[in-house]
Amino acid sequence: MGEVSVSEKQTRVRCSDEQFLEAVFSSKTYAEIAAKTGQKLNSTMSRYARTKKALAERGQTLPEMERSKPVRKVDNVEAMVETCRRLKAANSGQ
């Protein structure tokens, strides 16, 4: 994991370019890179974009990253159907 420096306002995690690139080449998603480097997901995505652009200018490519898919634990469609029925019943009664 990267070096953690703490200031009064925020905690910043710094990792070397070598460590970041090792995490990129051994991961498939941005979340995996963030977990390996200790950085926040948004910081990881921004750094990946900057690094990819800089390396592209030199003829190097980075592997394509995927965003991890959200895991849905509840069937939202059934909840929406029930809400629609309840609202229709409430509005038709007026």
Model confidence over 17-62: pLDDT tens digits? 999 999 999 999 999 999 999 999 999 999 999 999 999 999 999 8
- Strand partners of residue 12: 5
The packing angle between helices 30-37 and 17-25, to 10°, is 140
Confidence (pTM): 0.63
Contact 24, 63 (CB under 8 A): yes
**Residue predicted with more confidence, 6 or 77:** 77
pLDDT of residue 90: 86
Contact 27, 66 (CB under 8 A): no
pLDDT of residue 8: 59
pLDDT of residue 74: 65
What is d(CA 31, CA 45) in angstroms, rounded to the nearest whole number? 9
pLDDT of residue 44: 92
pLDDT of residue 13: 77
pLDDT, averaged across the chain: 83
Contact 37, 3 (CB under 8 A): no
Provide the sign of the torsion angle of the four alpha carbons 48, 1, 38, 6, taken in this order.
negative
